[in-house]
A = this chain, B = another copy of it.
Amino acid sequence: MHNEKSNQFLVELQPIGRRIQISGNKSLLEAAQLAGVDITSICGGIGICGGCKIQLIHGELSPYTLEEQDTFTEQDIQNGFRLACQAYPQSDVIINIPPESLTTPQRLQLEGHQTEIPVEPTIRTIPLEIPAPSINDLRADFTRLKDALATTVPALEVEYPLLTTASPIFRDADWNIKAILNSNRLISILPSQTPTIVAGIAVDIGTTKVAAYLVNLENGMTLAQGGIMNPQIAFGEDVISRISYVMSHSEAVETNGMRIMQERIVEGLNKLIQTMLDEVHQKNPDHIEIVDAVIVGNTAMHHLFAGFPVHQLGMAPYVPAVSEATLIPAREIGLQIARGGLVFLPPNIAGYVGADHVAMLLATLFQYKNELAYSNKTVVTLDIGTNTEISLLHNRQIYSCSTASGPAFEGAHIQFGMRAAPGAIERVQISKEGKIHYKTIADQPAVGICGSGILDVIAEMYYANILDEKGAILNHHPRVRKPDRYPEFVLVSEDQTGHNQAVVITRRDVNEIQLAKGAIRAGIEILLKEAGIQVQDIDELIVAGAFGTYIDVRNAMRIGMFPNLPLEKVHQVGNAAGTGARYMLLSQFYRDLANKIAKEVHYVELSNHPKFTEEFSKSLFFPKKDLP
């Protein structure tokens, strides 16, 4: 909020997620520097180098300077581009820092455990030698193609763009072509002579991060992988704020929120695809024809990508517009793959248990030996985020729920919270002697603290008796101070940070983590109850997703977020949703399985569950200190 008296403004730096309060006589470049965010500035802030280009998303800035007028086109100015060194806040503002203006790239989650699965993709490539037309054979171009495919594809359907483009290809290729089909739908035609890699992309669209894989559909190899921040962040950090943005921009065509969201993510993906193609082409000059795409995401990301309405996701009872698996022509949404290509969107389970969770279940709950089978184990699998999706497999039944764990682990609502970017504290230890050890990403001076660091510091404070079991900060530690009467724990002192401010943990921060971990634990407990089993029945706990990969599992148990389990039962599997998406790209069998899972899952709605409030209250406190 804007504080009138002190003429202080809140500057929110996206997509990093860092916020800083500064006075109106500080430029945005200074604000970023104070917040420890490294924006490129070669000329030292005199408006010449153009390196500190940023984009105003919300709020008011000082008028454009002459230097800026020289730098930007009319189009740029319409889009709110500024030089950070020339612009001063005149209200609370949100600004977006494009990747090229950041000196160090952000850390993105890409790796996922890859199991070997057989390559049996939905896509078929069929080489054909078709007789050319002659005075004695006057069949139309597509009739001769259909006749040539008659035995292999009896019910051929042709995607419209093929009808408009194939005739010259047939002739240029002397009627020696490869027909590429998605089931019985013709999606691409290539000259047989041109060396070509037939490829597909698997994408996991997270609310914050997007991970993509370019995969060779003939041998299953991942040719390239890449990641970007979700460009929709500029319109809201979390699902709810993006839905609100759409709801409040529903009228005009040009500024329609739905359309903007949809265009931004597709634009981002198109760029990412191009980057991956360029990378492969540095080693291999063959033409790469991207003929397929599998896109997963939570239900809101799924809808915003596909252009499906999200209003009803923002209002009780929070139902999706579309939950069944959907094939959408890539051209309908502007995704730049083969002109006839079809995008596969796996099913959603519920408004807050999306296709990404289905993909994760595919990658975690099944074992591929000679044939695919449900794991015989009892498995809890979860992906922690603003909403944490949890599933329990027991006796070949799957129980799933979503729990509102809030954005604390993404750095929001935490005073010094930030995303996993350079300068973020990601690991904390407090020794028996009370000495504090911490590690920052890229070993930069501490700027703030990211999810895994917050989890660590709370667990370590509790086990070092700086917190009691209710979450109160106790006074006896030398690093606890009491400004404004409320005790806070100094994790990094002023002189050690990147911005001359101490990084502290407040009672409110602790409380946010209690709410988050309590919600997750309550979700697990409810699912166990639904299946009629106990914690000790769990054979395996699988933690997926970006945050889950970096956390210290023991600390998660120490604060009670996870039940106490032998550490060997816990597996951190990285981007399992991305892995599941790749499986669906490489195997029609996994697409069918996704449909089966989504239909058969026992979805447990927590918001009206009779036991949820009780479990949640119980889970808020910290458990007994019985872990090493």
Contact = CB atoms under 8 A, between A and B. Distances in A.
Interface of A: 133-135, 138-143, 146, 160, 163-168, 171, 306-309, 311-312, 316-324, 326, 328-329, 332, 348, 350-351, 603, 605, 607-608
A312 B348 contact: no
A547 to B, nearest CB: 27
Q: Which of A139, A160, A164 has the most CB of B within 10 A?
A: A164
B311 A164 contact: no
Nearest to A161: B332
A229 to B, nearest CB: 25
A163 B306 contact: yes
Contacts of A142: 321-324
Contacts of A324: 140, 142-143, 146
How many copies of this protein are present in the complex? 2
20 contacts: A135-B316, A135-B607, A138-B317, A138-B350, A138-B603, A140-B320, A140-B322, A141-B312, A141-B319, A141-B321, A143-B323, A143-B324, A163-B306, A163-B321, A163-B322, A163-B326, A164-B309, A165-B309, A166-B321, A168-B309
Given A138-B318, A138-B603, 13 more contacts: A133-B312, A133-B317, A135-B607, A140-B321, A140-B323, A141-B322, A143-B324, A160-B329, A163-B326, A163-B328, A164-B306, A164-B308, A167-B309
Q: List the 9 closest A-B pairs by CB distance, nearest first.
A: A140-B323, A167-B309, A140-B320, A133-B319, A167-B321, A164-B307, A141-B321, A135-B317, A160-B332
Contacts of A165: 309
A50 B138 CA distance: 51
Contacts of A332: 160
Nearest to A324: B143
A317 B167 contact: no
A141 B138 CA distance: 48
A163 B308 contact: yes
B166 A312 contact: no
A317 B319 CA distance: 57
Nearest to A316: B135
Given A140-B322, A322-B141, A317 B134 contact: yes
Contact of A319 (B140, B311, B322, B605): B140
Nearest to A139: B319
A348 to B, nearest CB: 7
A296 to B, nearest CB: 16
Nearest to A608: B135
A368 to B, nearest CB: 30
Contacts of A306: 163-164
Contacts of A171: 312
Contacts of A143: 323-324
